Structure 1
Amino acid sequence: MTYKPQVVTVVTAVHAPSAPFLVEAYESLRAQELPAGWEWQWVIQEDGATDLVTQAVPDDPRISFGQGRPGGPGVARTMGLARAEGAYLKVLDSDDILAPGALARDLAVLTARPDIGWTASRAFDLLPDGTTLSFDQDPDEGPIRRGTVFRHWRADDHRPHIIPGSMCARTGLVLALGGWMALPASEDTGLLLALNTVCDGWFIREAGLYYRKWPGQVTSQAAHRDTAERTARAAVAEARVRALEALPAWRFPTTDG
């Protein structure tokens, strides 16, 4: 498939409990100012098939909405890739909000630096009372060399020092790596680890994402903290990294030139 070079596809997985937040996510996307000649496409994929989500999808020709049998957010996002048109892929969870200028900053890096495969940006927790809290491990502005995310993740009890939900990447790279991992959680961390194994990224210190905290989010459920499952998720994510490390020819860009 040929992807449009001046289109960024924003991919969002949604399930029924988070459907009411789609309006705010849409408003944050519609407020983005892109460089001249650029467009965004919003691919929304429901993890399931309910009228509640269908009714919450905004009426906008730039939106491509799909449904399917439930398999978790990673499966939903990967299924959404079938409708992606842009050469660049931005993650936006259905309950999160893009900060003003986020897309333009991502694209400025990726178009100016062909050696960079992905970007991430500063994220703030958005609390139920409307206040925000900053993340305490943000790296400095600039390149994130291959393997940096993995080393930090292993040293900090399998917690990345970058919020995967703020990521923007080259669509071809995401597809080459198989999309999001087929895990019940941490599927976005698994993709981030894989991306940083094969190529350098770039961290943007300006705010790019407001990460909503609310009782219904998947990461707040007890199952997300189950020790056996968490250990298994980490083990398969690390195995993926090790397998990619063992393929030295699998790097982006393919040559140093």
Structure 2
Amino acid sequence: MTRRIVVVTAVHAPSARFLPDAYASLAGQHLPGGWDWHWVIQEDGTSNDVAPHVPADPRVTFRQGRPGGPGVARTIALSEADGAYVKVLDADDRLAPGALARDLAALEADRTLGWATSRVLDVLPDGSTLGFPGDPEHGPIERGAVLDHWAAHDFLSPVHPATLFVRRELALALGGWMALPASEDTGLLLALNSVSRGWFSAEVGLLYRKWEGQATGQAAHLDKAERAARMAVIEARARALATFRWSYPDRLDPLVHSHGPPRGGEHRDHDDFRARRRPGA
């Protein structure tokens, strides 16, 4: 596997106009020597509205396909994932300076970590930013910590799945993003937390754009019956995985080293936390 980070972006026509901003944030990332990135942009559909916004850069791959939602788009984009790691970047968001290097450093330094997340700032329509006071402390997140918090806090995750950085083979082993109309990224995050330790960076890793057209702001996203069904299947999958003997990494891996006492944290749900945190959001 190449020393490459594959940045995966699902996009549809309404959010395509934000791609240049996402690209600028990605182009400004600095990686250690020998490492590079490959941006895979997967349109959820086959319109003529997205391609004009795709940057002309040999490090960028643009694909289209029949619509199936962002989870399907991201998962099929994994066919182009030619690197050791996968990083999520939504089309309307921006990476903070140094985000890729920090994620990479955490997982390269500790083989027992399967994934990483980071602090998020909401970017409001007026350009101001808003953080979240309940972030966990900087450091490792033990298996089950995210699931336990999510289940105890009305399905609000303590870490944001839009910041996910994950080992490619681990994401593939879990089937990628869940086949759900929303919360598909939270489903993957909780599955990851059920089988592997993770990492949280207290430094800002993502600027999360709040705008009128985003999916989490639509009325359908807040439908109570659908939300209950989404949460039920997400939790059932995560708990089923937790009961199996399989985990990452293999307990017999001689390269795995010991660690100190567990340190967990509180995080939030990409869809439900961000959509419901503020009135009118």
Give, in whole Å, the separation in 2 of the partners of 1:134 and 1:85: 34
Give, in whole Å, the separation in 1 of the partners of 2:170 and 2:62: 23
- CA RMSD in angstroms comes to 0.7
Q: Does 1:251 align with 2:240?
A: no
The match for 2:7 is 10
Alignment of 1:111-190 (within 5 A): 111-190=108-187
- What SS class does the counterpart of residue 35 from structure 1 fall into? coil
Q: Which runs of 4+ in 1 moved over 3 A?
A: none
Q: What's the offset of the Cα at 1:60?
A: 0.5
Give, in whole Å, the separation in 2 of the partners of 1:86 and 1:65: 17
Would you say the 8 A contact 1:9–1:43 is kept in 2? Answer: yes
Structure 2: state its 5+ residue gaps. Answer: 255-281
The match for 2:188 is 191
- What SS class does the counterpart of residue 7 from structure 2 fall into? strand
Q: CA offsets per residue over residues 136-163 of structure 1, 9 Å max, x none?
A: 3210000100000000101111110111
The match for 1:52 is 49
- What SS class does the counterpart of residue 152 from structure 1 fall into? helix
The match for 2:107 is 110
Give, in whole Å, the separation in 1 of the partners of 2:39 and 2:29: 12
Structure 1: state its 5+ residue gaps. Answer: none
The match for 2:72 is 75
Give, in whole Å, the separation in 2 of the partners of 1:134 and 1:163: 12
Would you say the 8 A contact 1:137–1:162 is kept in 2? Answer: no
- What SS class does the counterpart of residue 121 from structure 1 fall into? strand
Would you say the 8 A contact 1:49–1:69 is kept in 2? Answer: yes
The match for 1:32 is 29
Give, in whole Å, the separation in 2 of the partners of 1:39 and 1:245: 34
Q: Does 1:96 align with 2:89?
A: no
The match for 2:279 is none
TM-score by structure 2 length? 0.89
Give, in whole Å, the separation in 1 of the partners of 2:213 and 2:80: 28
Query: How many residues get paired?
Result: 253
Give, in whole Å, the separation in 1 of the partners of 2:186 and 2:80: 23
Alignment of 1:175-254 (within 5 A): 175-248=172-245, 250-254=246-250
Q: CA offsets per residue over residues 219-238 of structure 1, 9 Å max, x none?
A: 00010000000000000001
Q: CA offsets per residue over residues 62-104 of structure 1, 9 Å max, x none?
A: 0111101111000000010001111100000000000000000
Give, in whole Å, the separation in 2 of the partners of 1:103 and 1:111: 12
Q: CA offsets per residue over residues 106-141 of structure 1, 9 Å max, x none?
A: 000011101100000000001111110002321000
Q: What's the offset of the Cα at 1:188?
A: 0.3
Give, in whole Å, the separation in 2 of the partners of 1:231 and 1:17: 27
**What is the percentage of aligned positions where both structures have the same residue?**
61
The aligned amino acid for 1:128 is: P
Greater CA drift, 155-164 or 96-105: 155-164
Would you say the 8 A contact 1:18–1:95 is kept in 2? Answer: yes
TM-score by structure 1 length? 0.97
Give, in whole Å, the separation in 1 of the partners of 2:107 and 2:236: 28
The match for 2:63 is 66
